[in-house]
Amino acid sequence: MMYHHIGRKVRGLAMAICVIGVIGSIGAGVALYLLKILDLIPCIAIGVGGAIVSWLCSWVLYCIGDTQVRVERLEDKLIPKPNYAEYLNSNVALRGKCEICGKTTDLVNAKIEDAFGIRYRKVCRECFALNNAKQTD
């Protein structure tokens, strides 16, 4: 889940970095002036300049995240998702080669949920039992 929809997370990070950078640079300018380390003009330059640089740098990071979001949207539109209902309905012959072990026998349409997600396969009775599958007929 950490790397799922990463574009939105990168955009959020860009906004957070911008806010922290602006507040930090203004705070640093004020602190340097109050502690009498620098004069007023360099402190203003640090505060304003740091805020502008932080703001501009966040654009680059936000652009990377936004590009990733747009690529994900394009993938959703351009890459057809398999229609599992058609796959299951087109499997009239239930005799053939098991898609897991390769044994030729009577097959069952199975829905398998595991670490790889949800998969639909034609499997033999042994593989059906071993994978804790659900029948989809």
What is the total residue count of the chain?
A: 137
Please tell me the distance from the alpha carbon of residue 48 to that of residue 27, in angstroms, as a whole number. Answer: 10
**Domain range list for the chain:** 6-78, 84-135
Span 60-72, mean pLDDT?
A: 94
Choice between 123 and 32, residue whose per-residue pLDDT is larger? 32
**What's the rounded mean pLDDT across residues 33-42?**
94
Per-residue confidence at 106, pLDDT binned at 50, 70, 90?
A: confident
C-beta separation of 131 from 122 below 8 A: no
Residue pointed to by tokens 């398999």:
82
- pTM equals 0.55
pLDDT, residue 88, reads 54
